[in-house]
Structure formats: C-alpha cells, structure tokens
Amino acid sequence: MLCKEIMEVIEQTYSRAYAMSWDNVGLLVGRDDKEVQKIYLAVDATDEVIDAAVSCHADMLVTHHPMIFGALKQINNRDFIGKRILRLIQNDISCYAMHTNYDVKGMAELSGKMMGYENAQVLEVTCTEETGDGSVTEGIGRVADLKEPVTLKEYCDKVKEVFQLPGVIAFGDMDALIRRAAICPGSGKSVISAAIEKGADVLVTGDIGHHEGIDAKAQGLAIIDAGHYGIEHIFIEDMKRYLEAHLENVQIIGAPVQHPYVIL
C-alpha cells in the first residue's frame, strides 16, 4: 500500500480534525507516495526508535507524539531533531504522527475501559459532533463512578497493575475513599479543574508538579501521577491491533514498552 492510502485508513477513525489547534499531526517527514510493506509503531520518534525502524527495514514510522512541534529554520546534522529528520529521509522512511486526535478518539476511551469505567463521561470536551441522533461530545480523558469505593492506596495499586508500572506518585490521603475517578493519559495539569468540576475524587494522569499536586489535594482531588509515558504506551498495542485489522499485506511492528526513566 502507499503511505497516503495508509494515512487515509488511519484518518477514517482518527481524523486530524480532532487534533488541538496547537498540535502538529499527520505526515511530518517523507513521501506520501512511498510503497509501504512494513510499519514501525512507537510513542516517540527517539534516536533508539529510529535506529530500530531502520534496522527492521521499516517503510513507515507511526508515532503518538510528533517529532516536530515548533518551526524549523534549519535541518542539518548539528541539531538532534535535524539528525533524526535526515536519518529518516536517508532511509526513505515516512514519519507520521497522531497525537491529540488519537487522545480524543482512542486514548481516552481505551484507558478508561482498562480501568473498568462504565458509563464514562468525557472529562474535558474539545469538540461537538452533530449526528442523526443529536449532538455527541468528544474530548480529552474520561470520568466515571466506580462500582464500589476503594481507598486511594488500593487505586494506586490498580493503576500500577493495569498499566504495568513499577510505581506511581500520589497526592492525597492513602486511606481516603475513592468513589468517582477520572483519567487523562499524558500530561494532565490542564484538566485538574475539569476533574474537580465533574466531582472526581481522584485524577490519574502524568506530568504533575509539586504545586499542582498539593493545590489539587487542597481542593479535595487526589492525584495519581503515573508518568507521561506510563499510560500512553497503550497506544502501541492499540494501534497495532487497528492497523492489522484494516491493512492487508503490511507488517506491523510495535516498539517494546520501555519507560524513558527508571524508578529506583
């Protein structure tokens, strides 16, 4: 299949229209007329990921996070992003990113289901669609009532088990009961207010600083920081299933789950 045909398959479900205005999704490097027989999937287009894509002779690299965010005035081997771009071009690998459009149409619902959410609501609405049955809201994260209350400590243990994490950082009383929970994979500082407004007792997310954590706790919201990558690595296996179900004669290889930091 051609790269542009694969892009069409991806965007049938994960349309770029769902991406935030500040985001940079789509084909970032390479040719859309490239014949693709092998796709490598990863969360980030790191040097190690690009090395692996080259080593396995991938024709296309599909990542969650965009390798290019800001404007580039130069592309050369003196800049680490420039080196990556050159490596991809030299090896004729097309690089495609699906970031907040996947957050909205995939990551939010999947992470909630993995945590056992039923009848979940959108945590932060980013768009509204008109359908034959009326308006449907889409957005970042999910929030839902738990079947039975659990302590914050028990919920921390469940997050570690579900997402296969060595540890998490928690802000809150470990004995406090959790009856309503919210989840926002990736960086969730911006949805703390939404979680409070929707009555959540805990927000599972990542990239929470000291002040955000203690301020949320003061407002009655516990925080479980599972790390940015800690939840978002589910992108790899989820997209592997999706592409294998929708593409023919294309091999899909998922990068091994490897956290970018070590908890000792």
Residue 40 dihedral angles phi and psi, to the nearest 5°? -110, 130
Q: Which of 260, 262, 257, 202 is nearest to 228 (CA)?
A: 260
- Looking at residues 214-224, what average pLDDT do you find? 98
- Looking at residues 116-121, what average pLDDT do you find? 96
- Looking at residues 115-140, what average pLDDT do you find? 89
| Cβ 63 vs Cβ 233: under 8 Å | no
- Looking at residues 20-38, what average pLDDT do you find? 97
Give dist(CA 52, CA 64) in Å, integer: 16
Task: State residue 260's pLDDT score.
Answer: 87
How many Cβ atoms from other residues are within 10 Å of residue 78's Cβ? Answer: 8
pLDDT category of residue 220 using cuts at 50, 70 and 90: very high
pLDDT digits (tens, 9 = 90+) for 73-85: 999 999 999 999 9
Task: State residue 264's pLDDT score.
Answer: 74
pTM score: 0.95
Question: Residue 220 is encoded by which pair of tokens?
Answer: 């009655």
Q: Is the pLDDT of residue 144 over 90?
A: yes
What percentage of the chain has pLDDT greater than the value 70?
100
pLDDT digits (tens, 9 = 90+) for 191-209: 999 999 999 999 999 999 9
Task: State residue 54's pLDDT score.
Answer: 98
Give dist(CA 233, CA 206) in Å, integer: 12
Task: State residue 255's pLDDT score.
Answer: 97
